[in-house]
Amino acid sequence: MIDKAVIANPRTKYGSGRGATRHFITQRLTGALNIGFTGFLIWLVFRLAGATHPEFIGIVGNPVVAILLAILIVNVVIHMRIGMREVIEDYVHDERVNRLSRLLSNFFGLAIIVLAWGALAKIAFWG
Amino acid sequence: MAARSRPLSPHLSIYRFTITMVVSIVHRITGIALYAGTVLLVGWLLAGAWGPVPLAYVNGFFAHWFGTLVLIGYTWALFQHLLGGVRYFFWDATAGMGAGQREAISWANVIGAVLLTVIAWSVYFMFRETASL
């Protein structure tokens, strides 16, 4: 019989006991951090709009800016990965397509981090 | 007792639209848009790392009216999602859930996002000629 206790039990397939609480907390934590990062990002984009290459390198290559951007990217990817997983869980009902979608989403997030960190390292260390 | 299939709840098409419902849907859509939009940020960083020519190309795209429109839309999505998150912080704390309050918070979400977008871009357009921010 399916009752509240069965649904709440993470060992059953009912409900979402696999990581729901952790995702809930992580999502709030990264979200709160992103409030601060938003101001920083908008300042940076406006500051660098139409900037020449040396200006761009000078500002993005600044250790504080580069490190903040590196953390921002990771924080954003953690947040958007959980968000996209929630969307996939809601709309993709076929188990295999569901797993595949989540896998692709993970790869997307990973690619964003790797590419951004690569670009930042190049800018910060080699100009 | 054998397990029956789970009951299905009626979906969007059957409900009257309310503002709380609209901000909930918009929160999800802006979230998905921002997810895809990270490509813009990473593309910009990659262009800057690559060299002056790719950077000038990306700068040219964003200076074009269409690129600027994309950025303004991105800024709005960012503020809408940000304030939507703040709205959920209130509701997580079970604050602002009373009749009228939840609608007020949802409207504040919508209006606040538009206002912040207008303010941010007004500041940008006003000061980009005179001084670097």
Tell me which chain B residues have a C-beta less than 8 angstroms from the C-beta of A76. Answer: 38
What six digits make up the tokens of A79? 């947040």
Say if residue B103's pLDDT is above 70.
yes
Average pLDDT on B50-78 reads: 94
Could you report the predicted ipTM of this complex, rounded to two decimals?
Answer: 0.85
* Beta carbons of A33 and A25 less than 8 angstroms apart: no
pLDDT at position B16 is 83
**Facing A80 at nearest CB: one of B34, B85, B132:** B34
Tell me the CATH number for domain B19-127: 1.20.1300.10
- Cα–Cα distance, A51 to A62 (Å, whole number): 15
Answer whether B72 touches A (CB < 8 Å). no
pLDDT tens for chain A, 127 residues long, are 667 777 667 666 665 556 778 888 999 999 999 999 999 999 999 899 888 999 999 999 999 999 999 999 999 999 999 999 999 988 888 889 989 999 999 999 999 999 999 999 999 999 8
- Cα–Cα distance, B49 to B73 (Å, whole number): 26
Query: What are the residue ranges spanned by the domains of chain B?
Result: 19-127
CA distance A94 to chain B (A): 16
pLDDT at position B133 is 46
CB contact under 8 A, A31 and B32: no
pLDDT at position B131 is 52
* Beta carbons of B38 and A80 less than 8 angstroms apart: yes
CB contact under 8 A, B133 and A56: no
- Cβ-based neighbour number of residue B28 at 10 Å: 16
CA distance B48 to chain A (A): 7
DSSP string covering A32-59: HHHHHHHHHHHHHHHHHTT--HHHHHHH
Domain A20-126, what architecture?
Up-down Bundle (1.20)
**Facing A43 at nearest CB: one of B38, B41, B133:** B133
Q: Which of residues 15-54 of B touch A (CB under 8 A)?
A: 28, 31-32, 34-35, 38-39, 41-42, 45-46, 48-49, 51-52
pLDDT at position B130 is 59
**Facing B35 at nearest CB: one of A46, A50, A84:** A84
* Beta carbons of A112 and A73 less than 8 angstroms apart: yes
